[in-house]
Amino acid sequence: MIRALILTHRWLSIPLGPLFALWFATGIVMHFVPFPGQTESERVAGLTTLDLTTSLHSPAEAVAAGGIDHISRVRLWQRADGPVYVVSAADRIVALHADTLTAADVAAPDLALAIARATAQQRGLGAKDAAVVARNDYDQWTVPNRFDAHRPLYRIALNDVEGTELYVSSRSGEVVLDTTRFERRWNYLGSVVHWIYPTVLRKDWAAWNVTVWWLSLAAVVAAVTGALLGPVRLRLRRVRLRSRYHGWHLWHHWAGLVCMQFLLTWIVSGWLSMDHGRLFATGHLTPSEDAILTGAPDWAQLGAAPPAAVAGEVREIEWFAFGGRLHQRARRALMQQQISMFDGSAWHIVGRFLQPAEINAVSSRLSSGCARSIEVEPGDDYPFVSDVPQAPVHRVVCGDTWYHIDSASGAVLEKLDPSRRTYRWLYQALHTLDFPTLLAHATLRTLLIVGLCTAGLGFSLTGLVIGWRRLRATGLAPRHNG
């Protein structure tokens, strides 16, 4: 049995040793420089004021002209070439000129460049020397699936001091991502390596998913066999525990014993990041739950009355369904918005956010056992937050299942059943140390992450030396004659 553990640990750890070292090193980088993304604050800041003085078609007409099913949201925003409706379904979007209802795909690079320049100007970025660099389906920063509905993407280099690049959707014309030279350089040393994220592999999600899952599982087996061997290979001599090893093996043995708990939890939780429904629930709504919380609204109702009145300038108007009723969300800035509800004949102002009474009325249809919603407070064990600062996130508890609803947008952020709550602790908490106490003390959390990853890196380096010597001893590694 011991011999089998030794052989398994040795011949898994030798090829996986470099990956262990890279995971720990890149984990430190990722803590300080996350993967490039566009925040809601950046997106809203890049919007220009809507021109509502011209004659525009209604959102109901845009829905009819879009020709797609299962519509979730409709947005109206001001593009460089005029107001545009964006009709969104779960996996598809259609953009239409609001004045003509003709397709508003961005086919010309000059239009993409004009959109990027307007966005950059709104955000206070220099765009004088902006230029179209490429039009691709994928590059290193646009491989995530959330960009699928927008492909291909125009990459626009602003040629500013920070080396900013904006990505413009060819489907809607929206700027969906921005990166800087600093982010790109450090992410090649961080997320790209840590997630095994080269473009050629990651653009095929299924291939990437299987590859990383199996590699991570092999790493778990290597870690578990090492953890089992560690205590077994100790011996008691003169009332003191001593290792059976010498030299680099001795360092590896003691370092493994010291790092054992962290290494096991970090490697296992990293493997669980690739679960994707294999062992735990995904947090997605069932069709019946989605029908209750969102509903299947009659979008044609929006043609029965003009959009709800909006005071002052507005940057974006969005229509969405909540509880089977249509709502309008008019946004002037990130934290300035007004939600109105359509009752079939007229609009009624709800306020800045959805109100608890409406959320409770809708959620009561999920189950007779649903309790009144509560707001998720800072420091909560399940720290869901809205994209809009100060907007409450409401937790609805229905028996052993929880639903988190963003009052700013009506979106269901996640469904948490017992399986998903367990996953939150086994993956998110153990892998990123986002325990509420540590989240409240950012410096302490940073010190722990850096310290533990550094210890893991040092431990991995001892394994690399041992592995290399083993390969040389067996003739599998090249020898250099001096």
**For the chain, what is the domain count?**
2
* Predicted confidence (pLDDT) at residue 307 exceeds the cutoff of 80: no
* Residue 482's pLDDT band (cuts 50, 70, 90): very low
Burial call 453-472: b when 16+ CB within 10 Å, e when fewer? bebbbebbbbbbebbeeeee
172-182: per-residue pLDDT in tens?
999 999 999 99
How many CA atoms lie within 13 Å of 121's alpha carbon, on the beta-carbon side? 12
What is the pTM assigned to this prediction?
0.92
Please state, rounded to an integer, the average pLDDT across all residues of the chain.
93
Distances (CA, A) of 333 to 85, 203, 347, 357: 19, 34, 22, 26
Supply the pLDDT for residue 107.
95
297 confidence band (pLDDT: 50, 70, 90): confident
Q: Which pLDDT score, from 0 to 100, does residue 402 have?
A: 96
Q: Could you tell me if 332 and 325 are in contact, meaning their C-beta atoms sit under 8 angstroms apart?
A: no
Position 64 in a domain: yes
pLDDT band at 298 (very low <50, low <70, confident <90, very high): confident
Local confidence band at 268 (pLDDT 50, 70, 90 cut-offs)? very high
Per DSSP, the residues of 380-394 read -SS----SSTT--EE
Question: Does 108 share its domain with 239?
Answer: no
Measured in whole angstroms, the distance separating CA 444 from the mean position of its chain's CA atoms is: 24
Phi, psi of 173 (to 5 degrees): 85, 5
Expressed in angstroms, the distance from the first to the final Cα of the chain is 41
151/263 same-domain check: no
Looking at the structure, tell me whether residues 45 and 182 fall in a common domain: yes
Range of the domain at 181: 40-187
Question: Do residue 226 and residue 106 come from a single domain?
Answer: no
**DSSP secondary structure string for all residues of 78-124:** EETTEEEEEEEESS-EEEEETTT--B-----HHHHHHHHHHHHHHTT
Classify residue 91: in a domain, yes or no. yes
Q: Quick check: 303 pLDDT over 80?
A: no
Joined together, the tokens standing for residue 172 give: 């809607």
Can you list the pairs that 136-140 forms with residues at least 24 positions away whose Cβ atoms lie under 8 Å?
137/203, 138/199, 138/203, 139/199, 140/184, 140/188, 140/192, 140/197, 140/198, 140/199
Is 46 a domain residue?
A: yes
Spatial separation of the C-alpha atoms in residues 14 and 223, rounded to whole Å: 12
Inter-residue contact 183 to 36 (CB < 8 Å): yes
Peptide bond into 34 cis (omega under 30): no
Assess if residue 314 is contained within a domain. no
Q: Are residues 10 and 45 in the same domain?
A: no
Other residues' Cβ atoms within 10 Å of the Cβ of residue 217 = 13
Cα–Cα dist 267/269, whole Å: 6
**Is residue 126 very low, low, confident or very high in pLDDT (cuts 50, 70, 90)?**
confident
pLDDT greater than 50 at residue 132: yes
Give tens-digit pLDDT for 136-186. Answer: 999 999 999 999 999 999 999 999 999 999 999 999 999 999 999 999 999
